[in-house]
Structure 1
Amino acid sequence: MLASWRRQQRERSTLDDWRYRSVWQPYTGTPVSFLPGAWWVVADERHAADGETAVAELTRRGAEARLVVLPERLADRAAVAEHLTAATRTADGDTAPADGVLSLLALADGAVDDTQPVPPFLARSLALIQALGDLDVSAPLWCVTRGAAGTTRGGTVDRPEQSLLWGLGRVVALEHPERWGGLVDVPATLDDHGWDLLCAALAGLDGEDQLAVDGATVLVRRLVRAPAGAPAADAPDHPGTTLVTGGTGALGAEVARWLAARGAEHLLLVSRRGADAPGATELVRELTEAGTRVTVAACDVADRAALAKLLDDVPADAPLTGVVHAAGVLDDGVLDGLTADRIATVLRPKVLGALHLHELTVDRELRTFVLFSAMAGQLGAAGQGSYAAANAYLDALAEQRHRQGLPATSVAWGPWAAGGMAATDPAVEERRRRTGVARLDTAPALAALERCVARREPATLVAAIDWARYVPGFVAVRPSPLLGGVAEAQRAVAERADDSGASPESLAALLAGQTDAERRKTLLELVRGQAAAVLGHASMDAVEPDRAFRELGFDSLTAVELRNRLAAATGVRLPATVVFDYPTAAGLAEYVRAAIVDGGVVGVAPVFGELDRLEAALTGSAPDRSARIRITERLRALLASLNEDDAPAGGGGDTVAEKLQDATPDEVFDFIDRELGVS
């Protein structure tokens, strides 16, 4: 008895450590609806009226908004880039400035269906993301959705396909943090206060990048722990037929064994190859010997007609009572190389399969409806844009079914020790090891599944995450308030901040006092250190200065990570291809040196200290709305003067930026005192 109790306690402790869920919490700050700067509002041509409304509302709140309407025929990045260039050209032939880009493309109608596994809004959103990068537009992109599952309290979730963009957006935040704003879900209609809240979200709320406008407040997304608690008194039983898609794969087979051990009457194991799948014969024999009736069928679950026929053929003496959807494929790659066709490859089995199972069984008396999702959909994963989108949809579909009173359990799994789609990919395995995500042992993973099903939890993240190792890569370039609800993650964030103590400003100040030779040494050490961190090495000694990055193990994904880390450390915008254009640590360090020194970052290093003082003064006070508006206008005026490209009308004068470039620290401080009234 004591041994059994101890075993149960160990299992409970393990599950407590693995289980998380997403929640929506009211933003506790004070939203300010004033939205400064120039904004491009991008809308679908069939919903141009939404764009016109947005332009008017943003303009009312201080923005200089310009509408860009994308014709329906435009779906690829080159065409979108060309259209953006033409639509934002000013009368004098220049490109209109952009301090932010607001995409309303997801508000267009567009459901997942057999002929279109990738909704048009998702394909065009991807094209917009890529086109903005191709045009070197650094303004943050914000994407608005409507009715994405699980984002509004008490609302009807009727568009789970909107969550596809949420999954993709979480990956953009990791791969292109320097030009990502975030995601905002809105209700069916926005009143005047709703527009105030949306503009406040766009203006930036303490780094929040996953938000929802919900009635009278703004909600922010948080990941929190979801303790397992005691096992449910009534464990689910499995009479009749339980359908398992991906049933002959590594995870599907483990689920089949688990179901058989719990007395499943009849298992219908479905895969594309059916009985011809490797190991299928042995699996059937094993399950049959356990006393379970087994049928193996070949069926493409993305083919609605084929799946409907399969369900119609379920024996009458064992009606369908349960579904486990574990089918899926991978097609990983960075966003810059992603296409709608590649997304479709991943969405077909996972998303279409889940949708068809939902629609074809909605009138059947199911006891269980389980979707095998993945943590990429909840947290994002660099290099897995398609996979993150697909899994975010599964979680949303489960939320929708749950609110409709239907059985639904979506489990966003971390990697299993038993295998899975990515188990044989060395790059994925190395990335898993480096980020501190351990494989889940089969027995406790199945125990976690049982508790999720028994408690009718619609969406749960189950993953073994070492936050001390996971956090540094996740927040290397931009903070993530999402992790604010996990104490271990918050400690890791705080420790990282204490350990690094570095910033672009401190680096610039350091370089300002060094000789040219010392600068080269400092920046080479920076590049080698960041490269070592990306590859998971403890020391920069593993990164030889003149050895090619590819020989060291860099691929397109790790190249993006290195570029993002260096951009965050230096404050310099670096091209997406910089790691391949300068393929050694020595070459890349020299490029970074030129960008920093020749670009003037070092020359204005003392300015940053004064800006820090200004920031402290502003954050240490609590001005009323009128004062905030006046302060914002003054800051905008200073920003505009710094961004002047032309000399004064009289000719021959320097721009403010040029004057600052050549000014002494005392002259710079005098300028700030004069322009801002700060002393």
Structure 2
Amino acid sequence: MVTGPALSPGVPFATSSSEVSWPEAPLPLASPSPPGAWLLLTDEHPAALGRAVALALALAAAGDDALSLPRDDLDELPGFLAERPVRGVVFLTGAPYAYHDPEAAQELLLSVLEVVARLGPGVRFHLLTQSGGEPGLLFLRGLVRVLAVERPELRASLVDFDARADLGFLVRELRADTPDDDVRWQHEVRYAARPARVPFAAEVPGGPGAYVVTGGRGPAVARWLAATGATRIVLSGRSQVVVPGVDTVVVPGDIAAPGVADRLVAAATADGLPLRGMVHAAEALADDVETVWRPQVLGACRLHEATAGSPPDWWLLASSPAPPRLAPATAAAWLD
């Protein structure tokens, strides 16, 4: 994933990219703390419910109480927390494969947001996943990054816990209350994310062949691809684009709608021309999740499905460089 101002030399998207390292980060030695209570919430996935029960038992073994609140009673959450002070609120997700579908991922995100909207200051919020290396839940990183800016008092964290690890380590993680906001436990070893900005030095190959481009920056991308020697450039959208010396085709329609991605790929590969590259830069300038996710996330899925039989040599997924906002940040994290 690249972000940055458009029309920089070379790739017309970025001057830098983000990179995350995962050094070992053992929990600090902590003095015994008094017993406390935790509120455990889940979505409707059966695996999440089972893990909540297991975590409740592990917390009880450590001397803490585990509380629950039915999803239908979320409106009562502020009053519930006012009457029952807790050390933190833990939201447990289901198995990662359950969220590979964008609509399921979006539904999970909205469920989490329902909880976040009802939390006041003084209560830390933890998202607990069990990905097993699968990327299906990584979009939640975008949520945690935005909450760090918009709701810093929640000190939101994402904890990915190995299903084979002793739950006692997870209890220690929760009770330690460290400042780390993105943690991964693998084989009972703790790692913490350390993001950094690095120069974007990737060489995106051009040359003869066909390319598909989506999004409002299509004309700029088309000019860049033409300069690399592209034979045909197929763009999604409504406005006509003419690039001298290149076969330029515009396919109208919503990239997230069924059939549009197939028409883009068919136009690109007509006459047997090989599909060299795919630039997906579709985005929506909005704040609601559904509006933003539709072109970026669902559109990417449509393109992925359309190219299953003729995968391109490379993909370039672009996101907005705007200040972090929840809907674009989670969509970009899903694409990552």
Same fold, TM-score > 0.5, yes or no: yes
Structure 1 counterpart of 2:284: 329
Q: Is the 8 A contact 1:43 1:69 kept in 2?
A: no
* Residue 258 (structure 1) aligned to one of 224, 236, 239: 224
Q: How do residues 311-460 of structure 1 correspond to structure 2 at under 5 angstroms?
A: 311-314=265-268, 315-332=270-287, 342-374=288-320, 381=324, 384-395=325-336
Structure 1 pair 19–158 and aligned structure 2 pair: CA distance change class (3 A): closer
Measure, in 2, the Cα distance between the counterparts of 1:19 and 1:313. 31
Structure 2: runs of 5 or more not aligned: 1-8
* CA pair 369-356 structure 1, distance change in 2 beyond 3 A: same
1:66-215 correspondence to structure 2 within 5 Å: 66-70=67-71, 74=72, 80-82=74-76, 84=77, 88=80, 95-105=83-93, 110-111=98-99, 113=101, 116=103, 119-133=106-120, 138-147=122-131, 156-159=133-136, 162-187=137-162, 189-192=163-166, 195-204=167-176, 206-215=178-187
Tell me, in whole angstroms, the C-alpha distance in 2 between the residues paired with 1:300 and 1:200: 48
The alignment status of 1:216 with 2:157, answered yes or no, reads no
Structure 2 CA distance for partners of 1:375 and 1:202, relative to 1, 3 Å: farther
Gaps of 5+ in 1: 1-10, 148-154, 333-341, 396-679
Q: Kindly tell me: are residues 176 and 224 of structure 1, through their superposed partners in 2, closer, same or farther at Cα, counting changes over 3 Å?
A: closer
- Alpha-carbon contact 1:106-1:121 (below 8 Å) kept: no
Q: 1:31, 1:201 within 8 Å by CA — same for their partners in 2?
A: no
Give the drift of 1:261. 0.3
The equivalent residue for 2:260 is 306
Larger Rg computed on CA atoms: 1
Percent identity between matched residues is 30
Cα deviations by residue, 1:11-53 (Å, 9 ceiling, x for unpaired): 99xxx98444111111155365977521111123544222111
- Once the two structures are TM-superposed, the CA of residue 263 in structure 1 deviates from its matched residue by 0.2
Q: Is the 8 A contact 2:292 2:331 kept in 1?
A: yes
- Length-normalised TM-score, structure 2: 0.84
Higher percent of residues as strand: 2
TM-score (norm: length of structure 1):
0.43
The code of the aligned residue for 1:196 comes to: G
Distance 1:375 1:216, change over 3 A: farther
Report 1 or 2 for greater relative contact order, CA contacts < 8 Å, sequence distance ≥ 6: 2
The code of the aligned residue for 1:353 comes to G
Residues 297 and 334, structure 2, Cα contact 8 Å, conserved in 1: yes
Using the alignment, how far apart are the partners of 2:165 and 2:158 within structure 1?
19
Change (3 A) 1:108 1:391: closer
Q: Does 1:242 align with 2:220?
A: no
2: CA distance, partners of 1:34 / 1:264: 65
Q: Does the 8 Å CA contact 2:94/2:129 hold for their aligned counterparts?
A: yes
Q: Is the 8 A contact 1:110 1:121 kept in 2?
A: no
Give me the whole-angstrom Cα distance separating, in 2, the residues matched to 1:17 and 1:373. 13
Q: Which has the higher helix share?
A: 1
Shift of 1:300: 1.1
Contact 1:48–1:69 at 8 Å: present in 2 too? Answer: no
Task: Kindly indicate whether the alpha-carbon contact (under 8 Å) linking 1:42 and 1:104 is maintained by their aligned counterparts in 2.
Answer: yes
> What value does the CA root-mean-square deviation take over the aligned residues?
3.1
Deviations 1:81-100 (A, max 9, x none): 23x468x59xxxx8222121
What amino acid maps onto 2:115 in structure 1?
L
User: Within 2, Cα distance between the matches of 1:32 and 1:297?
Assistant: 61
